[in-house]
Amino acid sequence: MSVALKMELQDGAFSALRKSPDEFVWEMRLAAAVKWYEMTLISQEKAAEIAGLSRAEFMNELGRFQVSPFQYSARDVANELSDAI
């Protein structure tokens, strides 16, 4: 099941990114998914679903936003390393 959302934006919003309305909506979906993933609110799989991409495609898009595909904090890495020793 899918749900359609309606949003009204001024024409200037599309021209700011030099995008058509359909491209703008796609970019918004992707940007929201990337940000929520970066904030660790959603998984990579769920973010890809929200963006309308495969997981591999989503991971490629993360680079464009300079977001790591790995959701590890420095503390997580240190814990993993200490457990390995």
Quick one: pLDDT at residue 6? 87
Q: For the chain, 85 residues long, give each residue's pLDDT as a single digit of tens.
A: 888 888 888 888 777 778 888 898 899 999 999 999 999 999 999 999 999 999 999 999 999 999 999 887 777 777 778 877 7
Query: Please, what's the b/e burial string for 32-53 (b: 16 or more CB within 10 A of its CB; e: otherwise)?
Result: ebbeebbeeebebeebbebbeb
Q: Any idea where the domains of the chain sit in the sequence?
A: 17-84
Q: What's the pTM value of the predicted model, to 2 decimals?
A: 0.78
